[in-house]
Amino acid sequence: MLSKTVKKQRYALLAHPAKHSLSPQIHNYGFEVNRLNAVYFVIDTVASGAAVAEQIRRMPLAGCNLSLPLKETLLPELDEISINARLIGAINTVRNEDGRLIGENTDGTGMVADLAAHGVQLEQAQVLLLGGGATARAILTALALTPVVQVTVLQRANRPHFAQLQHLCAQLAAQTTTKLSCHDWQKIDQLEWSRFTLVINATSIGFGSHAEQAPLTAAQLQQLAPTTKVWDVIYEPRQSQLLQQADQLGLETHNGLGMLVQQAAGAFQFWTGKTLPVNEIQSFLK
């Protein structure tokens, strides 16, 4: 009796640009370690959410990760969205169950896991979060539901996401003891810098065409307590301008590589029910 050949499961990152991504290294190693008949690759695309949903079903992909703008534009095309992702208003992970597409967001929980892995006392944290896009909202949600003591968010009031950010803070306020506040970036000089124990940059300032820029000035960073830790979601370059400035002041700094691996671990578990070897992966990606 001939045994049936098990078809290789396919997973992908849908993004533009996509070729720089470390996700194939991360997930393919996870498949190998867990002895899963699966492969992960990148699809460079600028297609609409509807076109991408059709592509996921047609190929088919067993699961996928997404970058902006698909984190938001694919939402209306999904059959099911987790409560967490619906609250954030964005997804970064999709599971395909026989054509039924289910969306989740592991960005925020990935950041919280990385913070905990580096010994951050989350229950005592007072956080300054920079940005109001999909990644920032995911981090805000995860921190609030951890919970931490306080999260102060800075976003420009003239940006489309500012009202969405304010609405999210109002929704979270009913579910957490974390003190939440959202401020226009123009009020940055009114902040009480010395009280923050943690600063997280969730903007794109420091990446790509903005690689030579930093969201905060050295003068602003100097007002932080010497024990304040500075995180950047950016991992390429490894040391953004923000982290370079903070490091020069003697502050503890971390790039987004840990968050990348931790959010990938959440996605991997969501797809396969298996565990990604986080520590091993982080050691060979550095």
Active-site amino acid positions: 71
Around Cβ 258, how many Cβ atoms within 10 Å?
22
What tokens were used for 190?
């009114």
Among 149, 132, 130, 138, smallest CA distance to 112 is for 138
C-alpha distances in angstroms, 285 versus 22, 26, 64, 123, 220? 8, 9, 21, 29, 31
Report the half-sphere exposure of 282 (CA within 13 A, side-chain side): 19
> What residue spans of 20-128 are helical by DSSP H?
23-33, 49-58, 70-73, 83-88, 107-117
Extract long-range pairs of 86-90: CB within 8 Å, 24+ residues apart.
Answer: 87/141, 87/168, 87/171, 87/172, 88/134, 88/137, 88/138, 88/141, 88/168, 89/134, 89/137, 89/164, 89/168, 90/134, 90/137, 90/138
